[in-house]
Amino acid sequence: MFTIITGAQFGDEGKGKIVDLISGEYDLVVRFQGGDNAGHTVKVGEDVYKLHLIPSGFLLNSRVLIGPGTVMNPEVLAKEIDMLAEGGIELDANRVGVDSKTSIIMPYHIELDGLRESMRTEKIGTTKRGIGFAYIDKVARDEIRMGDLVNRERFIKRLGELAPSKEAAIKELGGDPSIVMDETLIDRYVKLGERFSSYITDVSYEVNRALDEDKNVLAEGAQGTHLDVIHGTQKFVTSSCTIAGSACANIGVGPTRVDDVLAIVKAYITRVGEGPLPTELFDDAGKQIQEVGGEFGTTTGRSRRCGWFDLPLLKKAIYLNGYTSIALTKLDVLSNLDPVKVCVAYEMDGNILDYPPEDTSALARCVPVYEDLPGWEGDLTGVREFADLPQEAKDYVIYLEDKMGVSVDYISVGPAREQTFKK
175 touches, from ligand IMO, Mg ion, ligand GDP, none (C-beta below 5 to 8 Å by class):
none
Using CA atoms, how far residue 344 sits from 30, 276, 318, 329, in Å, is 34, 17, 15, 20
Q: Which among 149-157, 163-171, 283-291, 409-417 is the span making contact with ligand GDP, rule CB under 6 A? A: 409-417
- 129 touching ligand IMO, by CB under 6 A: yes
Nearer to ligand GDP, 10 or 133 (CB): 10
- 412 touching ligand GDP, by CB under 6 A: yes
The residue type of 150 is V
Known catalytic membership, residue 12: yes
Choosing from 12, 206, 220, 310, the residue that interacts with ligand GDP (CB under 6 A) is 12
The helix or strand, by DSSP H or E, that contains position 161, with its residue range, turns out to be: helix 152-172
Catalytic residue, candidates 20, 40, 226, 332: 40
What are the phi and psi torsion angles at 60 (to 5°)?
A: -105, 25
Binding residues for Mg ion restricted to 278-307, rule: CB under 5 A: 298
333 touches, from ligand IMO, ligand GDP, Mg ion, none (C-beta below 5 to 8 Å by class):
ligand GDP
Known catalytic membership, residue 36: no
307 touches, from ligand IMO, ligand GDP, Mg ion, none (C-beta below 5 to 8 Å by class):
none
At residue 370, the 3 state secondary structure works out as: strand
173 exposed, middle or buried (CB, 10 Å; 0-12, 13-18, 19+)?
A: middle
356 touches, from ligand GDP, ligand IMO, Mg ion, none (C-beta below 5 to 8 Å by class):
none
Using CA atoms, how far residue 130 sits from 153, 265, 301, in Å, is 24, 27, 17
Could you tell me which of 134, 314, 357 has the C-alpha nearest to residue 239?
134
- 304 touching ligand GDP, by CB under 6 A: no
Residue 250 · residue 15 · CB < 8 Å: no
The residue type of 237 is V
CA dist., res. 416 & res. 50, Å (int): 13
Indicate the pairing of strand 340-348 with strand 351-353.
antiparallel
Nearer to ligand GDP, 276 or 415 (CB): 415
Residue 18 DSSP symbol: H
Binding residues for ligand GDP restricted to 14-73, rule: CB under 6 A: 14-17, 39-41, 43
CA dist., res. 279 & res. 188, Å (int): 45
Choosing from 7, 12, 51, 281, the residue that interacts with Mg ion (CB under 5 A) is 12
Q: Which among 13-21, 229-237, 253-261, 312-320 is the span making contact with ligand GDP, rule CB under 6 A? A: 13-21
Nearer to ligand IMO, 193 or 273 (CB): 273
Choosing from 200, 332, 341, 397, the residue that interacts with ligand GDP (CB under 6 A) is 332
Could you tell me which of 306, 285, 293, 295 has the C-alpha nearest to residue 372?
285
Q: Which residue is at the shortest CB distance from ligand IMO?
A: 273
Would you give the distance in Å from CA 112 to the centre of its chain? 22
Could you tell me which of 370, 281, 269, 367 has the C-alpha nearest to residue 9?
269
Nearer to ligand IMO, 145 or 226 (CB): 226
CA dist., res. 34 & res. 131, Å (int): 7
Residue 117 · residue 128 · CB < 8 Å: yes
Nearer to ligand GDP, 41 or 102 (CB): 41
Peptide bond into 79 cis (omega under 30): no
To the nearest whole angstrom, how small is the minimum distance from the Cβ of residue 320 to ligand IMO?
A: 16
To the nearest whole angstrom, how small is the minimum distance from the Cβ of residue 375 to ligand IMO?
A: 27
Choosing from 9, 126, 279, 321, the residue that interacts with ligand IMO (CB under 6 A) is 126
Using CA atoms, how far residue 15 sits from 2, 22, 129, 326, in Å, is 17, 11, 20, 11
- 39 touching Mg ion, by CB under 5 A: yes
Contact footprint for Mg ion (CB under 5 A): 12, 39, 298
Q: Which residues have a catalytic role annotated?
A: 12, 40
Contact footprint for ligand GDP (CB under 6 A): 7, 11-17, 39-41, 43, 293-294, 298, 329-330, 332-333, 412-415
Contact footprint for ligand IMO (CB under 6 A): 7, 10-12, 37-40, 124-127, 129, 131-132, 222-224, 227, 238-239, 272-273, 298
